[in-house]
Amino acid sequence: MSTSLAWGRHYLMTEPTHYRIDYAINPFMDTEIQPDPARARAQWDTLKATIEELGGRVDVIAPREDSPDMVYAMNLGFAATLADGRRHALLSHMRFPERRNETRSAVEWFAANGWSTAYVGKDGVGPTFEAGDVFPFAGHLVAGTGPRTDEMALKTLATEMGVRVMSVRTTHAGMYHLDLAFCPLDERRAIVCPDALAPESAEALLDLVPEPLVITEEEALSTFAANSIVIGRTIVMPSCPDRIRPILEGWGFTIRIVEMSELHLGGGSVRCVTNPLDIVVGRDVPVVYGGEVIPT
Ligand code: ARG
């Protein structure tokens, strides 16, 4: 059995109090189809309770009335404990102005909770960066670029965190964050949807993952299966296609399905609403002083 991920037991989440579809910035969003607030709340509560039941911890950040997408807390910023022990968050600089107020709350929350913070860009100036594009895996932070994150942001990500960043280029409008197409499962395995990526990036990512579970575009888009989180040997997922379940179970994982249909209306699922706070540089990704970016 391959070693379980050490990170993924502590998350930041935003209550869905102000979750609405006020605008459409991805192909899933339609302002004519609004989420049911009570059902969205119940789904969010169940996900939080499930994480806690599995031994995980959840911190919550207060939602903003002016930020209906803030429930997708993964995009508040990328947080990690650095080689010198400092807890550091690189705040997102959202592609769309509609989401930029979220960063005002994120910077306050991180500062109030003992984190130092940095920006790649701010208020539309400088490269954009959305943390839903970033994962530690196999010696790198793997970072998706294109729809939301600019290649230029990765230099700052690598330098700020003191790590090696591998850049992969996203070319699919429906998989606008890497977390819709990629999900690390343990130290050797990950769900990968190569159709989301430019051919050379797909090849590089498949080379990086010793045992990939390749899913189709249809599986990724219709089930949000890659937008899952892993707590030890349990995968918390919004749904698991019949083809995929035996493979995951054969690898020793337990599947926990949580209904996320209301959150899917905004274009996100389990992973998008949970931001890991327990990634450690030097444990989950090697220390590379000064940082390094590997393009693909
Ligand atoms: N409506 C949000 C947006 O388009 C959804 C974000 C989903 N988050 C994620 N990490 N994929 O920005």
Residue 232 CA to residue 227 CA, distance in Å, equals 16
Counting from 1 in the atom list of ligand 1, the atom nearest the Cα of 29 is: 1
Residue 286, pLDDT score: 98
Whether residue 251 is predicted with pLDDT greater than 80 in this model: the reply is yes
Mean pLDDT score of the chain: 98
Give the ligand 1 atom nearest the CA of 177.
11
CATH code for residues 10-294: 3.75.10.10
pLDDT at 43: 98
Nearest CA to ligand 1 atom 9: 272
99 alpha carbon – ligand 1 mean position (Å) = 10
pLDDT of residue 71: 98
Which strands make up the sheet holding 254-257, listed edge to edge? 229-231, 234-237, 254-257
Does residue 47 register a pLDDT over 80?
A: yes
Ligand 1 pocket: which residues have CB below 6 Å? 25-26, 29, 69, 72, 74-75, 99, 132, 177, 179-180, 266-268, 272
pLDDT of residue 168: 98
Residue whose CA is at the smallest distance from ligand 1 atom 7? 268
Write out the two tokens for 292. Answer: 């390094």
The pLDDT of residue 96: 98
In this prediction, residue 239 carries a pLDDT of 97
Give the percent of the chain with pLDDT over 70: 100
CA of 71 to the centre of ligand 1 (A): 9
Q: How far is the CA of 77 from the centre of ligand 1 (A)?
A: 13
Beta strands in the chain (DSSP E): 10-14, 57-61, 77-81, 87-91, 116-119, 134-137, 140-145, 164-169, 182-184, 189-192, 211-214, 229-231, 234-237, 254-257, 275-276, 292-294
Helix (H) or strand (E) holding 148: none
pLDDT at 1 over 90: no
pLDDT tens for residues 117-159?
999 999 999 999 999 999 999 999 999 999 999 999 999 999 9
What pLDDT score was predicted for residue 3? Answer: 96
Confidence (pLDDT) at 149: 98
In this prediction, residues 2-17 reach a mean pLDDT of 97
pLDDT (average), residues 1-9: 94
Q: Show me where the domains of the chain are located.
A: 10-294
Task: Find, among 236, 229, 227, 271, the residue nearest to 256 by Cα.
Answer: 236
Distance 264 CA to ligand 1 centre (A): 10
Q: Percent of the chain scored above 90 by pLDDT? A: 99
